[in-house]
Amino acid sequence: MALITNCEAYWKMENRTDEVGSNDLTNSGASVVAGKINNCYSFDGDTDEMKSDDNNYFNDTTFSISFWIKFDYTTDNRYFVALDHSGDGWGLRTETNESHGADAGNRICLVLKGTATIPFNSTTFTTGTWEHYVLTYNDGSAQILYKNGVADSESSASTIDGTTKGLVLGTFEEGNTENWAGDLDEIGYWSRVLTSAEVTSLYNSGSGLTYPFTTTTATRFQINKGDVWKDVEAMQINIGDVWKDVKGVQVNIGDTWKEVF
Q: How far apart are CA 184 and CA 172, in angstroms?
A: 15
In this structure, are 23 and 113 located in the same domain? Answer: yes
Q: How far apart are CA 33 and CA 86, in angstroms?
A: 30
What's the CATH code of the domain at 101? 2.60.120.200
Q: How far apart are CA 120 and CA 107, in angstroms?
A: 7
Residue 151 inside a domain? The answer is yes
* pLDDT tops 80 at residue 69: yes
Residue 152 inside a domain? The answer is yes
Number of domains in the chain: 2
pLDDT at 100: 59
Residue 112 inside a domain? The answer is yes
Whether the ω angle into residue 212 lies within 30 degrees of 0, i.e. cis, is: yes
In this structure, are 103 and 168 located in the same domain? Answer: yes
pLDDT average, residue stretch 219-229: 69
In this structure, are 142 and 247 located in the same domain? Answer: no
Residue 214 inside a domain? The answer is no
In this structure, are 179 and 247 located in the same domain? Answer: no
pLDDT at 102: 58
User: Residue 199: helix, strand or coil by DSSP?
Assistant: helix
pLDDT at 130: 98
Strand partners of residue 259: 250
What is this structure's pTM? 0.79
In this structure, are 99 and 148 located in the same domain? Answer: yes
Residue 141 inside a domain? The answer is yes
In this structure, are 142 and 235 located in the same domain? Answer: no
User: Residue 198: helix, strand or coil by DSSP?
Assistant: helix
In this structure, are 251 and 137 located in the same domain? Answer: no
* pLDDT tops 90 at residue 72: yes
Domain that holds residue 231: 221-259
Condensed to tens digits (0 to 9), the pLDDT of residues 147-202 reads 999 998 776 656 777 677 889 999 988 777 679 999 999 999 999 999 999 999 99
In this structure, are 114 and 237 located in the same domain? Answer: no
Nearest to 30 by CA among 162, 161, 170: 170
Strand partners of residue 142: 138, 155
Q: How far apart are CA 130 and CA 206, in angstroms?
A: 9
Residue 213 inside a domain? The answer is no
Residue 212 inside a domain? The answer is no
